[in-house]
Structure 1
Amino acid sequence: MRTTGIQVSGYGFLLRRLELALVIGDARMAHDPLRSQRRAIFVGVLVSLLIAGGAVMLGLLRPQPSIGDADLVADETGTLHVRLEDTFHPITNVASARLVLRQPAEVQQSTAEQLAEFPHGDPMGIAVVPGLVEAPQSSFIYCEPGVIVAAPETREHPQVMLVAPSGTWMVLGNKRYLIDATAPRALGAPSLNVSDDLVGLLERQPDVRMPQGKTGLPAPFDVAGRVLLAGDRAFMSAPGGVAELRGPQRQLAEALSPHVPIHVSLAEAVAQPGVEVLPGVPREPAEWGAPETLCVGDTGIEEPRGMALPGLVGSAYVPGTPAYDGPHYIGPRGTAALVTERGFGLVSESGLRFDVGSEAELRALGFGNPAHAPWRVLSMLPDAGLLSEANARTTNATISTTHTRTATEAGTT
């Protein structure tokens, strides 16, 4: 015979009465205190588990400060201490501590009570240091009117004509040649007005001058600076021989020569000794650049790309204009790690230049893969001193806790 639902319900009712009779000695079931008891037990267990879980998470996320084997610790006030052997020295900032420790150590929290258990040494450290957040790699260029720009990318202009107070300059790459003032028109090149400060950042080469005097050759090759035409080819006589002219070189020679050109046979021209004239002037067709933003970088005249600049930065030089009063450094957030012809360095986001003693010390500060930058450009930035282990170990009389905390919060330690 199958069991019905009513029988099952009745059986459960009898078990319930039996349970009440055994627990509280009353089988009447006037009320059910066991249900409230179970509910209270369940809620209590749940709350206990939540409290225990919170305590575990708090212990993981904010453990009790401990010095242990830490080399760099901060107490409750934010003052930094660096461990040398078994002695803790107050130190000005994280950068100094990393130089002393020769590794990019991280700060571990501690307390003054725990630090009191160890010997204390003299305060040490460098007062002014850059931030330790590395900036994206950039190209450092000098722009009119005296602004250093760290650009994400640049466009090169390998052939440019510049006009400065010191004269007219033909620029090929990062080299400059003083040339006749009429050369831009003779070569069909736009001329750009710049300051002597910008021109001075380019490497000076021998001036471009027309040959003069006697050549020591028979007529009609006896006069230096004379253009000689042999069919569609052109030559110029110079002391000691004859040079063939091509491209911009021919254009310039024909424009600047004070002598009337003479037609000669090709056989006569090539029979003379060969020499070089108009040094630096291209012999192949040139594309003379006209950048809208006037800047000098590692490869010569460069134009910043991928960033917005204030209106006056990179504009043409105009004598007598009021002095520029804007920022003298424009770059990304963070500190740039660089290598120049003179060694390693850092540039802070405020435009201070720090020399770094060695590549090992640069890596100890937490920077790797420095970008190349021309020293002649970086030298225009204010010098903030040398970051080295020796300087970081210099003893200081006092260390300002307030200064240390502020520097830490600003990310400049």
Structure 2
Amino acid sequence: MNQIIDYELFEIPPRWLFLRVETSDGSVGWGEPIVEGRSHTVRAAVEELLNNYLIGEPVDPIEDHWQTMYRSGFYRGGPILMSAIAGIDQALWDIKGKQFGAPVYELLGGAARQRIRVYQWIGGDRPSEVADEAKQTVEAGFSALKMNATEELERVDDPATVEDAVDRLRKVRDAVGSSIDIGVDFHGRVTKPMAKRLAKALEPYEPMFIEEPVLPEHNDALPDIAAHTTIPIATGERMYSRWDFKEIFESGAVDVIQPDLSHAGGITEVKKIAGMAEAYDVALAPHCPLGPIALASCVQVDACTPNALIQEQSLNIHYNETTDVLDYLEDPTVFEYEDGYVSIPDSPGLGIDIDEEYVRKQAEKTVNWHNPTWRHEDGSIAEW
């Protein structure tokens, strides 16, 4: 019987946490359990779950392991626990795929496509002049972009703030034309009244979607926002299980869901969330401003999910100032983008080979990433 016998965790730049799980037959699987800016906390949760429930157990019953990790604690859900479960789940699927000599998607029913479209981030936390960057990104072969809509906003802000957001999107649209999709991320920075005003103002420039128009604790406002615009609404990066998504499916207000494979319970859970979404005619576009293991896990789910629309990826994103996605891979061509798509890999497990020597070297560095704290002009805290 092949058992889980050991694990290691590596905090590495720019802001990631990698998990290496080893089994009694020498198999190794990799996962990426991380909450950006809370790596120490998630690390402790991963250690607690593995030490209490999985060390010494057979590797094969992934569904039972998932249920054990989720249900054996009286308190459940939330970003820390679900991200810890997610990384462990990814590593177990990686091992299982390698044992069967098949990509994970083959074990989940087989491929529904040969490639998945990807989009590229432009700009940074505070959007500025992004038209030139958008044009360069399109020239590099991408057919879809995403940008932040605004800086911090007051609860009810002035017309100039709305005009600035519209002007940025207009310049990007003028630069790339109508055949390029542009996602606009509200980033949870926007209150309900401003979300309605912004959506109406941006509509003439036809964004692919507006993302997280309000924080998930205000998802009850989404039907009202949806009633004010024809722009597709996307959300879900700060939702962690199928139970979190249930309300928005039932409301009918959301067109694209964005669960994160490193936050929402991993491959096991996101595949279930995607199936629920299909029943409500909602598309899947997994959130992934993270590292190569998270991205590989996303692509495995995209491959076997009929309603997968597009995949976020973090190559050259503004967070990756010291180390980028491809640096940790033995063969970076697995994520080679062509015509705005990435091919579905056919290698076993997650379809990637981690450069373990490089991981260990990078893990010697001090990593202490936290997102900035923003404040309004009156000194009160602002959403980042």
TM-score band, normalised by the shorter chain? under 0.3
* Higher helix content, 1 or 2: 2
* Higher strand content, 1 or 2: 1
Taking structure 1 as the reference length, what is the TM-score of the superposition? 0.22
Greater radius of gyration (CA): 1
Taking structure 2 as the reference length, what is the TM-score of the superposition? 0.24
